[in-house]
């Protein structure tokens, strides 16, 4: 499928008073550095609202905001639909890198597709900044010098939502798990947390992806007697499961639902009437502070009134940081060098604040534990959450020495022994 060109922006130049620092890093005074970015995601399926066209809008906003800083880059943004199929995603990534001149790919929800793009990117020595997929395996034993994992992962979701539910007394669980890489990873990581804290998993049932009938799985979960039913799915699947749980009166039977990956767009679709009281973990919410509100108002004007999701916010922040690294190098040609520079430069943007990118490629920032408001508490269409807790990044994500990433050992060896 041929990518659709959405934006070409010429950023700065001698006539705009380009500073001496840019001329020095670019190597030749007045030189403009070409950069081509691909936004690859689900544009027509169950994750289209989570990422889709909104992620392209976010990428365009990042390019526009970077232009204001006059950094001497010529940036083009293209987009493509991976259809939630790893083979399609890998094929499109390869074509972009080989024939279309794409330097970096962003977004990529669906963990199985992300893992496939991760491998193609390493092979081609390009850059992959993932904000839409959850699997923590991207920064595990198969980590890559070409990949940055922004936004969230299955460990952070388990530590947030799973930890909160166990703390509230939810010490027995039953999982309804999407039969693909993300579902398996989030069930695995949440199970590990539950068992570390003395709880038990009573069972699990896999559902096809995408699923259209959650009644059999939820009835099995009800029959288990577990205090918590963990929804190890996302997007349209989560929406369908929550709606079916309401129809089956799961809450009235004394069981709690734990949505292990829920976005604000999902809650907006469900409405607080259906989703009220649901506890969830996100790294971004449009109404967190003045910066997130200002960005979200701009985004909504470009996106048909919709507020941005965490995945879309991650695209914006990831593109900004990527462009800073390209500026510092004066080139987008060598992906591993760009990612290395991204790790060296502290992250700082209006949506996630200050943070870092670790040696394993994991972007570190705070996560937030939210509860969906009751209808009477909500003051508007997108007034969905109340904040229960802020989870510091160092507590939310897997410790650096526990992921098994070879890059961590390499970085430690390069630093040498401490005095």
Q: Is the dihedral of CA 254, 232, 270, 219 positive or negative?
A: negative
pLDDT of the residue at 250: 93
What lies within 8 Å, CB to CB, of 160 at 6+ separation is: 280, 281, 367, 368, 369, 391, 396
From first to last of the 419 residues of the chain, give the pLDDT tens digit: 434 433 443 333 322 222 333 333 444 556 789 999 999 999 998 899 999 999 999 999 999 999 745 778 999 999 999 999 999 999 999 999 999 999 999 999 999 999 999 999 999 999 999 999 999 999 999 999 999 999 999 999 999 999 999 998 999 999 999 999 899 999 999 999 999 999 999 999 999 988 899 999 999 999 999 999 999 998 889 999 999 999 999 989 999 999 999 999 999 999 999 999 898 999 999 999 999 999 999 999 999 999 999 999 999 999 999 999 999 999 999 999 999 999 999 999 999 999 999 999 999 999 999 999 999 999 999 999 999 999 999 999 999 999 999 999 877 666 655 44
Residue 380 has φ and ψ, to the nearest 5°, of -175, 175
Residue 303: Cβ within 10 Å count: 19
Using the 8-state DSSP alphabet, how is residue 326 labeled?
H
Adjacent-strand bridge partners of 204: 175
pTM of the full structure: 0.89
- Domain range annotation of the chain: 4-152+289-366, 158-286+367-391
Q: What's the pLDDT at 26?
A: 41
Q: What is the pLDDT of residue 30?
A: 65
| Euclidean distance between CA atoms 173 and 159, whole angstroms | 15
Q: Can you read off the two tokens belonging to residue 116? A: 């496939």
- In Å, what is the CA distance from 163 to each residue of 13, 168, 251, 374? 51, 9, 20, 23
Of 271, 205, 281, 264, the residue nearest 242 (C-alpha):
271
The whole-number pLDDT of residue 409 equals 83
Please state whether the peptide bond connecting residue 243 to the residue before it is cis, i.e. omega within 30 degrees of 0. Answer: no
Strand extents, DSSP E, 291-419: 347-349, 353-357, 363-364, 367-372, 385-391
Which pLDDT score is estimated for 414?
Answer: 67
Q: Which of 410, 319, 320, 321 is nearest to 360 (CA)?
A: 410
CA distance 136 to 186: 9
Residues 135, 126 contacting (CB under 8 angstroms): no
Task: Please report the pLDDT score of residue 29 as a whole number.
Answer: 57
**Phi and psi based region of residue 309 (left: phi greater than 0; alpha: psi -120 to 50; beta: remaining):** beta
Q: Are 79 and 38 in contact (CB under 8 A)?
A: yes
Q: Which CATH architecture is the domain 4-152+289-366 placed in?
A: 3-Layer(aba) Sandwich (3.40)
What is the β-pairing status of strands 228-232 and 172-178?
A: parallel
Distance (Å, whole) CA 293 – CA 280: 20
**385-391 and 367-372 as β-strands: parallel, antiparallel, unpaired?**
antiparallel
| Phi-psi domain of 215 (left: phi exceeds 0; alpha: psi -120 through 50; beta: other) | alpha
CATH architecture of 158-286+367-391: 3-Layer(aba) Sandwich (3.40)
* Residue 386 CA to its chain's centroid (Å): 21
For residue 409, the SS3 value is helix
Quickly tell me which residue has 């038990």 as its tokens.
200
* Predicted local distance difference test score (pLDDT) of residue 28: 53
* Domain 4-152+289-366 identical in fold to domain 158-286+367-391: yes
Round the CA-based radius of gyration of the chain to a whole number and report it: 21
């Amino acid at each position: 499928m041929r990518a659709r060109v959405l934006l070409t922006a010429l950023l700065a130049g001698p006539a705009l008073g380009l500073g001496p620092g840019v001329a020095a890093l670019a190597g030749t005074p007045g030189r403009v550095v070409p950069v081509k970015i691909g936004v690859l995601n689900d544009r027509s399926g169950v994750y289209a609202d989570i990422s889709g066209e909104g992620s392209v809008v976010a990428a365009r906003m990042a390019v526009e905001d970077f232009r204001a800083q006059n950094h001497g880059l010529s940036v083009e943004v293209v987009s493509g639909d991976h259809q939630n199929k790893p083979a399609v995603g890998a094929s499109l990534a390869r074509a972009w890198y080989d024939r279309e001149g794409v330097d970096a790919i962003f977004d990529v929800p669906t963990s199985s597709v992300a893992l496939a793009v991760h491998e193609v990117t390493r092979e081609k020595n390009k850059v992959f900044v993932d904000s839409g997929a959850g699997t923590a395996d991207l920064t595990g034993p198969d980590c890559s010098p070409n990949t940055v994992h922004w936004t969230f992962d299955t460990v952070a979701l388990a530590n947030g939502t799973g930890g909160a539910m166990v703390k509230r007394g939810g010490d027995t669980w039953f999982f309804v798990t999407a039969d693909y890489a993300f579902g398996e990873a989030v069930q695995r990581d949440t199970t590990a947390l539950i068992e570390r804290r003395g709880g038990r998993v009573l069972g699990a049932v896999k559902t096809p992806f995408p699923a259209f009938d959650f009644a059999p799985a939820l009835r099995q979960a009800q029959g288990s007697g577990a205090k918590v039913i963990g929804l190890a799915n996302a997007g349209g699947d989560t929406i369908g499961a929550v709606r079916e749980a309401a129809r089956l009166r799961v809450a009235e039977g004394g069981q709690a639902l734990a949505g292990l990956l829920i976005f604000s767009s999902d809650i907006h679709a469900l409405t607080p009437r259906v989703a009220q009281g649901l506890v969830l973990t996100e790294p971004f919410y449009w109404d967190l502070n003045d910066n997130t509100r200002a960005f979200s108002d701009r985004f909504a004007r470009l996106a048909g009134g919709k507020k941005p999701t965490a995945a879309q916010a991650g695209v914006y922040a990831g593109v900004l940081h990527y462009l800073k690294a390209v500026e510092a190098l004066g080139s987008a040609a060598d992906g591993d060098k760009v990612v290395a520079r991204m790790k060296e430069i502290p992250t700082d943007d209006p949506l996630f604040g200050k943070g870092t990118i670790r040696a394993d490629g994991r972007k570190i920032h705070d996560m937030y534990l939210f509860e969906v408001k009751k209808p009477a508490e909500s003051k508007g269409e997108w007034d969905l959450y109340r904040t229960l807790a802020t989870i510091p990044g160092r507590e939310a994500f897997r410790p650096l020495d526990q992921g098994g990433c070879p890059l961590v050992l390499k970085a430690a060896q390069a630093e040498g022994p401490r005095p």
